[in-house]
Structure 1
Amino acid sequence: MNELRCFIGIDVAKLKLDLALLVNGKYKSKVVANTREGHLQLQQWLLDRDATPANSRLCMEATGPYSETVATALVDRGWPVSIVNPARIKGFAQSELSRNKTDAVDAALLARFCSVMQPECWTPPPAEYRTLRAWVDRLQALKDIQQQEKNRQEAALAMQQAALVDSIQHHLDWLAQEIARIAQDIDDHLDHHRGLKRDAALMTSIPGIGNTTAAKMLAYVGDVRRFESAKALAAWLGVSPRQRQSGSSVRGRTMLSRTGHRSARTALYMPALVARRHNSALQAFGERLRANGLAPKAVVGAAMRKLAHLIFGVVRSGMPFDAQMAMPKLDVQDGI
């Protein structure tokens, strides 16, 4: 195997990519467009400077579709790419006492982080997962607009603006139809892919997890089997407990870390409330935590974490949820 000697930081923006190539402590910079042509230009620029997929590592922050597009193009050509949580890059910059923040500076920072930390390589999710995520994001966007329009309609009713109320109602009618259509498209997409359909069925066997939540978890998390343990999945979601204690004076209360995928974590909140009432395993778990003096909101957070563990368990085992099997495991685990 060739030794890594070229580390490339890519600061991703909507329209452009700032590159920093770090070799033997020296930097070379380049700016290309964030387009298909720019991605090809990026690769050629690296090859012209003796950076190859065998001796290089590329690193960029997670910025949604803008970073994943270029990352997928590079991985498809054999380049090893790491997509890093921005919180890690921010912490690394603080450790260097970095004072400036520009696109070029950020690209160089990413190159140094890549050289020092050498984060794990990113693997693009299969096409069916990417398509599902696009549909799920679209559905959520329409639901957000629907709620905004309902709020506007309520305000218009209070002001007795009948014409405005009718206008908003026309939009609400269209939104309801479009939401129903996209929800059906998501169901059809799951039905057309055996792996997605199987995992969705396993997730929905857990009381509290419905079709909408299962689709969101598949869209945002991808294949749950890529995680080594349930704790790793919970950490990725940001539902792991975070303690704050030091010496004899600092005794902060334990709370969710929230260092993870926000949309996926949000998707577990309402299911946790439902599971607290209708999932016998989560009922017993929640009552035990409440008896120990845990605050109601903290109990919900703990229930979110347990749901993540249950999702991991049913998908990895391939067996539907069984309350009798889940109860002993929940009884011996610590809550938040």
Structure 2
Amino acid sequence: MFPRFSEGKVDVSTFVGIDVSKEHLDWAVHGSSAGGRLAHDEEGLQALVDQLRELSPTLVVLEATGGLEMPVLAVLSVAAVPVAVVNPLQIRNFARATGRQAKTDRLDAKCIAHFAAAVQPPLTPMPEATTLELELLLARRRQLITMLVAEKNRLSGLVGPRRVARVVSSINRIIETLEKELKKLDDELKDKIEKSPLWRAKDELLRSVPGVGPGTSRTLLFDLPELGTLNRKQIAALVGLAPFNHDSGKIKGRRAIWGGRASVRSMLYMASVACMRFNPVIRAFYDRLKTAGKPTKVALTACMHKLLTILNAMVKANRPWQVAAA
């Protein structure tokens, strides 16, 4: 807790960090011994709200943990507790910068609380019910795709004496089940988007770009809500498509991209490949880079960056795809 002096008055600010896991909620207060561990269930969430209400914190910070943080965000928002959800990479970088090497849930909570006090990130608004449901459905879709890819990789690895009929049939049944579940989930996502005028308008706007299909549009809608609110450099850095220098002294290293939101970057890669066939602007840009001698990977990454820039500008201006403007 930091005392702040203003016109003779002392304002004590309280910053709380919460480490969210599947089983537990570890929380700590910066500059204080207050905190503890609670079960990540209904009783634990209510106990967390009660304890935080007594503290009247200035800010509570959580890490984004693949959806596990959403129930915590929901109950704290309803209880009018100021809360911010931040990228875990920010916390890890902050921990390294402050020399924290040890790692336990309790220490993670203290580090998050320290981050809250030092950085004071903006509050995270609680998504509307429709948005929250769509986000959870999309998270489940990504899980299904991950499992489907894993099973297909296992099947392709069964060659020669390893290709036992019993194992092959087992993997094929799992693949068929996952594909059916994925199709069912896609239909549900489509139905919910069409029933929401706001989401339907955004979806139609993004899909007006040749090469951008429903999968890309939905990923951008749910995993990149900042699209259209940032400038082109900020949105590229957020996704992880802004190249960073690797220079030291007289050594000039190769620029590379890293970090950011992997799910968005993966989907933009697939969309850029589709744009090679259907989008004349991206195709011409790619051909120009290849003619200039750029490696295929570099040219394709540049196309991903350009596609993201175009989509960001379209959403910001609320205008559909136009070749001349692009």
Name the TM-score, length of structure 1 as normaliser.
0.85
Distance apart, 1:163 and its partner CA: 4.3
Aligned residue in 1 for 2:64: 62
Aligned residue in 2 for 1:19: 27
In the superposition, relative to structure 1, how do residues 97 and 163 fare at CA in structure 2: closer, same or farther (>3 Å)? Answer: closer
- 1:52 and 2:75 matched: no
Aligned residue in 2 for 1:282: 282
1:241 to 220, 240, 243: 243
Q: Which amino acid aligns with 1:293?
A: G
Query: Aligned to 2:68, what secondary structure does the other structure show?
Result: helix
After superposition, give the CA deviation of every residue in 1:172-222 in whole Å (9 maximum; x if it has no partner). 333333322222112111111111111111111111111111112112123
Alignment of 1:31-50 (within 5 A): 31-48=37-54
In the superposition, relative to structure 1, how do residues 108 and 217 fare at CA in structure 2: closer, same or farther (>3 Å)? Answer: same
Query: Aligned to 1:83, what secondary structure does the other structure show?
Result: strand
Query: Aligned to 1:243, what secondary structure does the other structure show?
Result: coil
- 1:259 and 2:267 matched: no
CA RMSD of aligned residues (A): 2.4
Query: Aligned to 2:324, what secondary structure does the other structure show?
Result: helix
Q: Which amino acid aligns with 2:217?
A: A
Q: Report if the CA contact (8 A) 1:133-1:216 is conserved.
A: no
Distance in 1 of aligned mates of 2:27 and 2:145: 38
Distance in 1 of aligned mates of 2:100 and 2:172: 52
Distance apart, 1:139 and its partner CA: 2.9
Decide which moves more: 286-295 or 34-43: 286-295
- 1:219 and 2:227 matched: no
Query: Aligned to 1:60, what secondary structure does the other structure show?
Result: strand
In the superposition, relative to structure 1, how do residues 162 and 323 fare at CA in structure 2: closer, same or farther (>3 Å)? Answer: same
Distance apart, 1:134 and its partner CA: 2.5
Distance in 2 of aligned mates of 1:316 and 1:7: 34
Distance in 1 of aligned mates of 2:173 and 2:100: 52
Aligned residue in 2 for 1:183: 186
Query: Aligned to 1:121, what secondary structure does the other structure show?
Result: coil
Distance in 2 of aligned mates of 1:200 and 1:238: 23
2:147 to 145, 148, 151: 145
After superposition, give the CA deviation of every residue in 1:23-82 in whole Å (9 maximum; x if it has no partner). xx433222222223222212222333xx225xx111122212222221222122211112
* Count of aligned pairs: 317
Alignment of 1:154-169 (within 5 A): 154=156, 158-159=160-161, 161-169=164-172
Distance in 2 of aligned mates of 1:297 and 1:215: 25
In the superposition, relative to structure 1, how do residues 324 and 77 fare at CA in structure 2: closer, same or farther (>3 Å)? Answer: same
2:18 to 6, 10, 29: 10
In the superposition, relative to structure 1, how do residues 84 and 179 fare at CA in structure 2: closer, same or farther (>3 Å)? Answer: closer
Aligned residue in 1 for 2:3: none
Q: Gapped runs of 5+ residues in structure 1?
A: 327-336
Query: Aligned to 2:25, what secondary structure does the other structure show?
Result: strand
Distance in 2 of aligned mates of 1:322 and 1:260: 28
Percent of aligned pairs with the same residue? 29
Distance apart, 1:230 and its partner CA: 3.0
Distance in 1 of aligned mates of 2:251 and 2:62: 36
Q: Report if the CA contact (8 A) 2:49-2:75 is conserved.
A: no
After superposition, give the CA deviation of every residue in 1:112-142 in whole Å (9 maximum; x if it has no partner). 2211111121123332222223222333333
Distance apart, 1:12 and its partner CA: 1.6
Q: Which amino acid aligns with 1:250?
A: I
Distance apart, 1:321 and its partner CA: 0.6
Aligned residue in 2 for 1:269: 269
Aligned residue in 2 for 1:333: none
In the superposition, relative to structure 1, how do residues 245 and 294 fare at CA in structure 2: closer, same or farther (>3 Å)? Answer: farther
Q: Report if the CA contact (8 A) 2:67-2:136 is conserved.
A: no
After superposition, give the CA deviation of every residue in 1:234-270 in whole Å (9 maximum; x if it has no partner). 22211112122243x22111122x2211111111111
Aligned residue in 2 for 1:331: none
Aligned residue in 2 for 1:204: 207
In the superposition, relative to structure 1, how do residues 119 and 147 fare at CA in structure 2: closer, same or farther (>3 Å)? Answer: closer
Query: Aligned to 1:242, what secondary structure does the other structure show?
Result: coil
Q: Report if the CA contact (8 A) 1:157-1:165 is conserved.
A: no
Aligned residue in 1 for 2:76: 74
Segments ≥4 residues shifted beyond 6 Å: none
Query: Aligned to 2:99, what secondary structure does the other structure show?
Result: coil
Decide which moves more: 195-204 or 81-90: 81-90
- 1:28 and 2:34 matched: yes
Distance apart, 1:87 and its partner CA: 2.2
Distance in 2 of aligned mates of 1:172 and 1:283: 34
Name the TM-score, length of structure 2 as normaliser.
0.87
Q: Report if the CA contact (8 A) 1:125-1:222 is conserved.
A: no
Decide which moves more: 263-272 or 57-66: 57-66
Distance in 2 of aligned mates of 1:88 and 1:144: 25
Q: Which amino acid aligns with 1:45?
A: Q
Query: Aligned to 1:17, what secondary structure does the other structure show?
Result: strand
